[in-house]
Amino acid sequence: MPRTLVLANQTLGGEKLLAAVQERVAAGPHQFHVVVPATPVHDQAGAAGSGPSSDERAYALASQRLDRALTEIRELGGEADGEVGDPDAMEALRLALGRAPADEVIVSTLPLGISRWLRGNLPAKIERSCGLPVVHLVDDRQTAS
């Protein structure tokens, strides 16, 4: 059964990501492993002025987003599990792939100009480092805290 690792945070639940999940499920049984980096709240889009946040708050937000994403994927017919990962998205991905091998990686980001992951060229770095096909989706949707 094909297995896709999904790396996302603020765009979990976005239309493009859910459409990509639905497309894979329509082709046959599919497993998804969702990795949500515990990005500090003050580093997230729209958080200006909120001040520094604790690691616990970042983990709690990521955990809530993960739970919602797993439910949505299962409702679309996919098998899903996941984890809250390291705050560094590249490290979160590396650790997750060590535990849960995948056939491809989907990276869902906010648009250029907002996304810290795109400023750091994360999709290209992932492709170079993991040797797997990488699908990059850009979504304007930010999940609710």
Q: Which residues lie below 8 Å from residue 120, measured CB to CB, with a gap of 6+?
A: none
Domain holding 31: CATH number?
3.40.50
19 in a structural domain: no
Q: How many CB atoms lie within 10 A of CB 52?
A: 9
2 in a structural domain: no
5 in a structural domain: no
| Residue 46 domain boundaries | 25-110+120-138
90 in a structural domain: yes
> What local confidence, expressed as pLDDT, does residue 142 receive?
60
Q: Give the span between the Cα atoms of 8 and 44, in whole angstroms.
A: 12
81 in a structural domain: yes
102 in a structural domain: yes
Q: How far is CA 118 from the centre of its chain?
A: 13
Q: Give the span between the Cα atoms of 105 and 89, in whole angstroms.
A: 13
Asked if residue 25 lies in contact with residue 126, where contact means CB atoms within 8 angstroms, the answer is no
Q: What is the torsion angle, in degrees rounded to the nearest 10, for the CA atoms of residue 89, residue 57, residue 75 and residue 45?
A: -60
pLDDT along the chain (145 residues), means of 10: 97 96 98 96 52 76 97 98 97 96 97 92 95 94 53
In the sheet with 3-7, reading across from the earlier edge strand, the strands are 79-85, 31-37, 3-7, 104-109, 134-138
> What local confidence, expressed as pLDDT, does residue 13 receive?
93
> What local confidence, expressed as pLDDT, does residue 41 receive?
72
78 in a structural domain: yes
11 in a structural domain: no
Does pTM top 0.85 for this prediction? yes
Number of domain units in the chain? 1
